[in-house]
């Protein structure tokens, strides 16, 4: 049959020689270069160490004192309503001092988003006895807002029953947490010498 061409013979493995490029990672010289480059990059990285506020003596916060300013979270308001607790009176019973409940704009925005079910909590947050704090950041996520505010100004007590937010605030030294438990307000991390 005339249409058939020559059969192609594959080269044996030994006949073909593969060359490694000079930039290949497997070469020892390149591995050493990479290691040196990584070490230099680490040296150039600057370590940012947060300055401790001057009013903190270890975890003891000397800026806290009556009248206490209490940052209130959305679910703290809901728990207070469910347990039929009067917020200002309950706080004063817990701390034995005057308390000023503070509500950020993010918390009010979060309550407005939750709709009709939380209208009573929203009405409570708009109480004239509550101090209204303005937010300068973008977005309305209340947890981030409260953490940011507390880190900047450690003169607040945070009132929340949210487990995640409690975990985040416990990492910030000198910030006590108020929560609802056994039909009354309780506080954790408040040194005894502050309340005396």
d(CA 63, CA 53): 10
Region 83-89: mean pLDDT is 93
pLDDT at residue number 108: 92
154 within 8 A of 61, measured Cβ to Cβ = yes
In the predicted structure, residue 79 carries a pLDDT above the cut 90: yes
d(CA 187, CA 185): 7
Strand bridging mode 56-57 / 60-61: antiparallel
In the predicted structure, residue 12 carries a pLDDT above the cut 70: no
Comparison of pLDDT for 160 and 138, the residue scoring more: 160
144 within 8 A of 164, measured Cβ to Cβ = no
| Average pLDDT over the chain, rounded to an integer | 83
d(CA 180, CA 89): 13
Nearest CA to 168 among 147, 137, 191, 153?
Answer: 147
Q: What is the value of pTM for the model shown?
A: 0.69
């Amino acid at each position: 049959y005339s249409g058939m061409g020559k059969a192609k013979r594959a080269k044996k493995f030994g006949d073909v020689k593969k060359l490694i490029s000079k930039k290949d990672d497997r070469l020892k010289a390149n591995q050493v270069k990479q290691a040196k480059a990584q070490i230099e990059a680490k040296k150039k990285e600057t370590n940012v160490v947060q300055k401790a506020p001057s009013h903190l003596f270890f975890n003891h916060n000397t800026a806290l004192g009556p009248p206490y300013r209490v940052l209130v979270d959305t679910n703290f308001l809901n728990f207070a309503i469910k347990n039929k607790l009067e917020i200002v009176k309950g706080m004063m019973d817990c701390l034995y001092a005057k308390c000023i409940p503070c509500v950020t704009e993010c918390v009010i925005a979060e309550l407005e988003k939750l709709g009709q079910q939380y209208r009573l909590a929203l009405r409570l947050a708009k109480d004239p006895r509550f101090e209204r704090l303005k937010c300068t950041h973008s977005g309305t996520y209340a947890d981030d807002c409260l953490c940011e505010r507390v880190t900047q100004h450690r003169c607040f007590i945070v009132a929340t029953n949210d487990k995640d937010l409690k975990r985040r605030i416990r990492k910030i030294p000198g910030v006590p947490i108020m929560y609802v438990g056994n039909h009354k307000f309780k506080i954790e991390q408040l040194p005894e010498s502050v309340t005396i």
